[in-house]
Amino acid sequence: MTQRSEFPHQSKTLSYEDPAPYLADVFGLPGVEQLQAIIDGRFPAPPIASHFGIEFLTASVGDVLLAATPDASHYNPIGSIHGGFAATLLDSACGCAVQSTLPAGVGYTTLELKVSMLRGITRDTGRVTVHGWITKPGSRAAFAEADIRDSEGRVLATASSTCLVMAP
């Protein structure tokens, strides 16, 4: 039996910026402009992006595109990417799609997320893209869907989400 000390050790350093100092500036913009400011580098990505390597690629009203590259630090005990990796990417894409429809000063939170895993993901899958889109915007609740695709365009996972819209 292999002893723990024989396993190769790897490490991953996370670096992120505390969002507190710029939150007032962020919430002063409509949601789609908030996302565009992250894409343009005017605001840093949210800290969760560091944990999962999420890249913000495009944002328009009701539609966002993100990307990430799974690695061994995302593995579960059976040697594939943990479902939480896909769920986090899908929740982020659905949430950002909702965010892109909101006026300045209005926030949201996920109420419900349904995830369907369609294909396994490993570190060999490589970079994946995550598309999120609005199915029904709203002033109290908004609905969005998302999918994760590999570099060949195969759908790896899908999600539908309900978000609570929170006005000040």
Tens of pLDDT along the chain (168 residues) come to 556 667 778 888 989 999 999 989 999 999 999 999 999 999 999 999 999 999 999 999 999 999 999 999 999 999 899 999 999 999 999 999 999 999 999 999 999 999 999 999 999 999 999 999 999 999 999 999 999 999 999 999 999 999 999 988
Distance CA 51, CA 61 (A): 26
Span 19-42+50-166: which CATH code? 3.10.129.10
pLDDT of res. 1: 58
Q: Are 13 and 49 in contact (CB under 8 A)?
A: no
Distance CA 91, CA 97 (A): 10
pTM: 0.93
Distance CA 30, CA 26 (A): 8
Domain ranges of the chain: 19-42+50-166
Angle at 135 between CA 156 and CA 163, to 5 degrees: 90
Angle at 46 between CA 25 and CA 29, to 5 degrees: 25
At 115, is the secondary structure helix, strand, or coil? strand
- E-strand stretches of 70-154: 107-117, 128-136, 141-149
